[in-house]
Copies of this chain bind each other. A is one copy, B any other.
């Protein structure tokens, strides 16, 4: 590793970053604090929104336990699968897994799913302070409730570039009463059955389906929820003192919904996005897409005799789901004292200008790492809705991702044939494609090919949105990259052209791991392929990924060492390893 780092002279910044991370990991394995967790994943009855459902929990909790660590720590999670018949994995969203690509927790990509009754040990370093989360990454198990928060504080002796007196986590999700098993069958049926809109929005796993926190202000006949009960759905009230500054760590693990967050009467100052500091800016409401995380600062400078709304609403789709609500409780007021006015009204669901305005404000904090000035390679990903043998799918450049039975990390490392489509998928699409209309030929194909990058190459990805199968509809997709952060160089409307390159922001583009494409628009990303491993890059909407909306990236797999055997005990890698066995 040392040799690798020091023998290269190009792109010194990234090399330094890479060496730094590697060195940290190596030293950490000896010196850093290891934080141990023993988790059992199991199904349980739970009432996230006051209506009982079967929920995937960890150690009897929903959401799962919060991991809290300091930058440089080693996290060790011994994960035991207590599900009756299903495999399971957990992905540590936003953690780049330098040197531990087998711990990325993506079934069929970084490892085999953990079988029922078996234990897999995730061991990885959290190298960068920030707001993260974890979640299932097999089938639609994230939608079943398999998620929790992962908070990394600055290392001892380090400081955040902003001050706050206290903090809260707001892990946001959406919830369906239909089981994920039934959802999965519907998505893979002819005729296609869409999962529909969620029944409720959850804040820290708590929502209200058959009562409303704001019934008092509603013209409907819904009943007022109890704000101080001890039910599983009782809102998680934020208790604050007047005239203090609080950090809200916000993360969205929604299956589908784009959200708008607002706190009545309070400005929010955005300071962090996806574990990277941003140039602070104040807003009244903010958009959060699935897979994103933010930190915002609020100052409790409002009338202290009142409480205030914390409100979450659906954006980007015609909302059919009630607002998710809790309270900002100014102590010593009673936590059940309702605010004096109704909850904030979210911007119109399809006011995309409002969304873009927010997104465009997110820029890197001064002093953040800057992108290389030019890419080694630029690839173009057209996002389309298609049909494959009558099934409704999402495709990238006309290929809908179908994961193989053998994890890529093993099959690429061992140079195996036949584990996945050997053909490299297309890296651009037809220049004549009309993104403003449904595809003229909706038929697409499934595939499992891999985009292979030269180690340390600089990759530009242009995500191009388009019209879906229905006329005059183009949807929002938040794309999430594993194993890396990327710089978001720019956004645009309509079809990307080479002229748009000149408008790329190379001065202070934000580093993210998730970026949205707006309807009919494009988004340009740049990242350095500096992390040996195999990495998913996909729409973070759970049913969209299930329908094939993703691609597989790989780089430097030949440098990956010490993959635990148990990560590869399935499929062809399992066969290969066992064929050496002579009893």
Instruction: Please report A residues at the B interface, Cβ cutoff 8 Å.
Output: 43-45, 54, 84-88, 108, 112-113, 115-118, 138-141, 179, 181-182, 184-186, 188-189, 403-405, 413-414, 546, 565-566, 568-571, 574-583
CB of A354, distance to nearest CB on chain B (Å) = 37
Q: Is the CB of A189 within 8 A of B44?
A: yes
**Which listed residue, B45, B181, B414, B577, touches A189 by the CB 8 Å rule?**
B45
- Residues of chain B contacted by A108 (CB below 8 angstroms): 117
A375 CA / B295 CA spacing, docked (Å): 74
A179 CA / B581 CA spacing, docked (Å): 40
Q: Is the CB of A139 within 8 A of B577?
A: no
Known: A43-B181, A43-B185, A45-B189. A578 touches B569 (CB 8 A): yes
A86 CA / B140 CA spacing, docked (Å): 12
**Which listed residue, B54, B181, B583, touches A414 by the CB 8 Å rule?**
B583
Q: Is the CB of A45 within 8 A of B112?
A: no
- Residues of chain B contacted by A569 (CB below 8 angstroms): 569-570, 574-575, 578
Q: Is the CB of B181 within 8 A of A118?
A: no
- Residues of chain B contacted by A44 (CB below 8 angstroms): 185, 189
A203 CA / B318 CA spacing, docked (Å): 45
List, sorted by A's number, 10 A–B pairs whose CB atoms are closer than 8 Å: A44-B189, A84-B139, A85-B87, A85-B141, A87-B87, A115-B405, A117-B571, A565-B575, A566-B574, A569-B574
A108 CA / B571 CA spacing, docked (Å): 18
- Residues of chain B contacted by A404 (CB below 8 angstroms): 117
- Residues of chain B contacted by A179 (CB below 8 angstroms): 179, 181-182
Q: A118, A565, A574 — which one has the most chain B CB atoms within 10 A of its CB?
A: A574
Q: Is the CB of B571 within 8 A of A115?
A: yes
CB of A182, distance to nearest CB on chain B (Å) = 5
CB of A230, distance to nearest CB on chain B (Å) = 18
CB of A136, distance to nearest CB on chain B (Å) = 9
- Residues of chain B contacted by A414 (CB below 8 angstroms): 583
CB of A392, distance to nearest CB on chain B (Å) = 15
- Residues of chain B contacted by A405 (CB below 8 angstroms): 115-118
**Which listed residue, B87, B574, B576, B577, touches A116 by the CB 8 Å rule?**
B87
Q: Is the CB of A570 within 8 A of B118?
A: yes
In addition to A85-B141, A113-B115, A115-B405, 6 A-B residue pairs with Cβ atoms within 8 Å of each other are: A44-B189, A45-B186, A85-B113, A116-B405, A117-B405, A118-B571
- Residues of chain B contacted by A578 (CB below 8 angstroms): 565-566, 568-569, 574, 577-578, 581
- Residues of chain B contacted by A43 (CB below 8 angstroms): 181, 184-185
